[in-house]
Chains A and B, each alone.
Chain A
Amino acid sequence: MKGIQTMIKELWNFLCSLKLAIVLASLSTLIIGAGSMVMPAHPEIFGDLDRMTLTNWYAAVASQHPLLTWWLPVAGLLLISLGVNTLCCFCDWLMRLRSRWRKTGEYLIHLGFILLLAGYLWGAWAGNRTEGLRLPPGKSVPLPAPEGYALRLEDFRALTGPGGRPIDMISDLSLLRGEEVVARKTVRTNHPLLYQGLVVVPLSFATETSGFRFLRPGRGLVDLVTGETLELSGQERLEVLDFAPHVLRQSNGRVRRIGDQLRSPAFLLELRAADKQIWKGWYLLREGLPEALEHRLNLRPVGPLENRISVVTANYDPGAGLAMAGGACLTAGALFAFFSYYRKRRRQERPEVI
């Protein structure tokens, strides 16, 4: 019995050991320093590290290049060991708080490190990163994570400087859970939308052709975009099911999308009468109106309708709160340690030397 107790005590002392901390910190420093030297030479491997969570990057990229990336898991293990070491050391201090409370600053720094490490690991494990999410105005775009949420761009403005240089991108965003709006924010540089671990920041913007403007002789102008409906005579309705800026009609008559550049635009239309489908098919502007519509409708193309698309990064990091708490502990600890340093020195308080 005595033997087990001694062993546990020895193990605890080992885990709390200051020398172990120095060894682990030195080894981590050396391995990260040496390993990072391969990073600039291999942007095809390490260039995606900020675009994905570490876990996703490991599965998708690093595992294909074990020779260049083995140092990362080793560094990770060393840092986790340092975290455990720091945690034990922190607990040891807590148990002696009464006589060692003057070290609060230093130990808040230790706690900060533990929280940061835990927050990072949690985020890397359970988080998700999406770079380059395209948000057309008015549409809800589902988020890959957290599940059940979507973003809707209410309005977008690009701020330009002298010479038309883009300076900032301003997006009025709504965050939806199902149909309910749970957060709203005007997102621009340094002003993200933050919601329970989700952070949405501007990345860039693009212009997208969303439809076409037509003249209906005798009836004025109409804008055809996806979801739009035209009332025809005799209770017939023509609905725009889809729009594609560039399509190709194949020899079998089928229509294939080619790309996002405005080259050969087309609409997928559906003609209904009293909720019964009469006709459905593609209308390629280049070909003119399909036969089924020719005698029902007269449309003369005027020009494309363009939309400003906001392109954002939407990262979900459930560990961010923990990391923020870690940052707060580090700040408080640093300030406390700073102000108590000279006081302790005046009182000739010197820690034990081993």
Chain B
Amino acid sequence: MPQSDIPLLWSALGANALAVLFYLLHVQIRRPAIWRFAFALVLTGFAVQTLTLALRWFAAGYLPVTNLFSTLFFFSWCLAATYVYFELRYRLHASGLFVMLVNLVLLAAALQRDPAIPALVPALDTPLFTLHIVFSFLGYALFTMAFSLGVLYLVRRVTGSALIPDLSKLRRLNEEAIFLGFIFFTLCMVFGSLWAYLAWGYWFSWNIKGVWSFIVWLFYAGMCHAKFVRRWQGTGYALLSIAGFGVVLFTYLGIGLLLRSNHPLG
């Protein structure tokens, strides 16, 4: 990997960590200047991550998302992008604390891994693979956003804190995150199936990762409907978003770490 990546990666981590600190400070001292500065740090971290991603893409000649380091890094980039979109559009302010905390964990986990860019094996050398991965992490990032919004919803309900947007706004944003996440994850499944058909001769694989990806898809399809049922709106939806994130985490990390899988990416 290019040596220049290492300081860049640490700068992104530093900017994210500082952003989290300033968001925490904002909880104590409620001054607009503080959340503005925190968000400026988020934007700086995101810009550095974007530059790192671009440099690695250029150096590799393909979007490097083929090992755990690069997928964690890409996941974190997607989550930062998602948060920036929600913040710019809906002004969440200090509510960003929780998302950025998750992002910090992702980045720190990535930095524990080997960032070297592996040689591209022919099976992964197709735009279908790239589309599959890009849409999967965009989906995961939006499901993580929904998880954060779900937690915020519950916190707001219990504490009534004025730092957090009101319940009806949180509910709407949560529904939006789930819907967008489902749309992206649908595209991920379509491209993945097409790729599997061309590479292995079947479009649905019964390996445990394939099965759990289908579970994620079906779970969030169910959630796309649950919002039409009055009883499930609000708290029920927040709880489902949190449970859904558990399913996502298990599919992405748990299977690789706990069980054996013959999915091409473990």
Contacts and interface: CB of A to CB of B under 8 A. Distances in A.
A39 interface: yes
- The prevalent SS among residues of B at the interface is helix
A337 B197 contact: no
A50 B206 contact: yes
A331 interface: yes
A327 B219 contact: no
Contact of A323 (B180, B203, B206, B226): B203
Given A25-B222, A120-B204, A320 B190 contact: no
A291 to B, nearest CB: 51
A40 B201 contact: no
Contact of A341 (B128, B179, B193): B179
Nearest to B204: A120
Nearest to B258: A40
Interface in B144-203: 176, 179-180, 183, 186-187, 189-190, 193-195, 197-203
Contact of A327 (B193, B202, B221): B193
A215 interface: no
Given A50-B207, A331-B187, A338-B183, A353 B230 contact: yes
Interface in B204-259: 204-208, 211-212, 214-215, 218-219, 221-222, 225-226, 228-230, 233, 247, 259
| Range, interface on chain B | 35 or more
A26 interface: yes
Given A40-B259, A50-B202, A315-B202, A188 B190 contact: no
Interface in B11-56: none
A352 B176 CA distance: 17
Interface of A: 18-19, 21-22, 25-26, 28-29, 32-33, 36, 39-40, 43, 46, 49-50, 109, 113, 120, 129, 161, 167-168, 188-192, 199-201, 313-315, 317, 320, 323-324, 327, 330-331, 333-334, 337-338, 341, 351-354
6 contacts: A22-B229, A25-B219, A39-B206, A190-B199, A352-B228, A353-B230
Given A19-B229, A199-B197, A330-B187, 5 more contacts: A33-B247, A201-B201, A317-B202, A330-B186, A334-B187
